[in-house]
Amino acid sequence: MFRKLAAEFFGTFWLVFAVLGTAMFAAGFPTVGVGFVGVGLAAGLAVTTMAYTVGSISGGHFNPAVSLGLAIAGRFEWKDLIGYWVAQILGGAAAAVIVYWIGSGAPDFAAGGFAANGYGDLSPGKFGLVSVFVIEVALTAMFLIVILGSTAKAAPAGFAPLAIGLALFVAHLIGIPVSNASLNPARSIASALFATTGAWSQIWMFIVAPLVGGAVGALIWRGLLGTDDKA
């Protein structure tokens, strides 16, 4: 079990490090950076690379909402859920600490929003609470459906990490302007740790909505799309 938790820690670390690092250091650097497309690509590539690297050890969740959805779909043991959540949150937090540590070495560094998620004034596009809740649920649900479908027994072998990474990339393209694209409570908690914009007061949204989305995606797969491919 320790190897599984270590894999989840490092997988989530890499995902959050990629997202926060790209958002904080490269998105607008020096005046024209990679933008939100680059941040989304970083997220997708990070998940793809770690899914290939440690997916055979832990299943490659890197996200509490994914772990919940897989448990509901019958692909993951409920008894392991809390341990995975703890490992994922700690991995994300460790990545946030290192990004902050690196960033603070610049003379003009300011944590600001620290790539945190938000609604209302904290939404990149100033979208309201309902809009942000709906997009977080919808995107996470679709992400779970892609995960469950691409890892089903009938799916082509070896391509699941690519499908999952591309799905996360697309989700970020849609979600960044609205909510800054959470889909992952561990990533949201990591960002809020150092944000100076009041993001922590909204963290409930980016824990609840992805978990709801993960559950919805799993139920859709299990009730409408899936076959007898439960682990």
Q: 134: which residues sit within 8 A by CB, 6+ positions away? A: none
Q: Is the pLDDT of residue 205 over 50?
A: yes
- 207 assigned to some structural domain: yes
Instruction: Pull the structure tokens for residue 152.
Output: 């089903």
- 164 assigned to some structural domain: yes
- 169 assigned to some structural domain: yes
- 149 assigned to some structural domain: yes
| Confidence band for 50, pLDDT divided at 50, 70 and 90 | very high
- 39 assigned to some structural domain: yes
Mean pLDDT on 135-164: 93
- 231 assigned to some structural domain: no
Q: Is the pLDDT of residue 155 over 90?
A: no
| Confidence band for 113, pLDDT divided at 50, 70 and 90 | confident
| Confidence band for 231, pLDDT divided at 50, 70 and 90 | very low
DSSP 197: S
Q: Is the pLDDT of residue 217 over 80?
A: yes
Q: Which domain holds residue 171?
A: 2-225
Q: Picking from 8-22, 81-95, 171-185, 215-229, which range would have the lowest pLDDT averaged per residue?
A: 215-229
Q: CA torsion 155→156→160→164, rounded to 10°?
A: -70
Q: 167: which residues sit within 8 A by CB, 6+ positions away? A: 44, 142, 143, 146, 147
pTM: 0.91
Q: Is the pLDDT of residue 89 over 60?
A: yes
- 26 assigned to some structural domain: yes
Average pLDDT, the chain: 92
- 230 assigned to some structural domain: no
Helical pair 64-72 and 205-220, crossing angle rounded to 10 deg: 30
pLDDT at 101: 94
- Tens of pLDDT, residue by residue over 2-11, are 999 999 999 9
pLDDT at 224: 87
pLDDT at 225: 83
Q: Are 75 and 155 in contact (CB under 8 A)?
A: no
Q: Domain holding 212: CATH number?
A: 1.20.1080.10
Nearest one of 168, 201, 173 to 66, comparing CA atoms: 168
Mean pLDDT on 68-81: 95
% of the chain surpassing 90 pLDDT: 79
Quote the number of domains for the chain.
1
Q: Is the pLDDT of residue 230 over 50?
A: no
Q: Is the pLDDT of residue 74 over 60?
A: yes
Q: Is the pLDDT of residue 182 over 50?
A: yes
% of the chain surpassing 70 pLDDT: 96
Q: Is the pLDDT of residue 134 over 80?
A: yes
| Confidence band for 29, pLDDT divided at 50, 70 and 90 | low
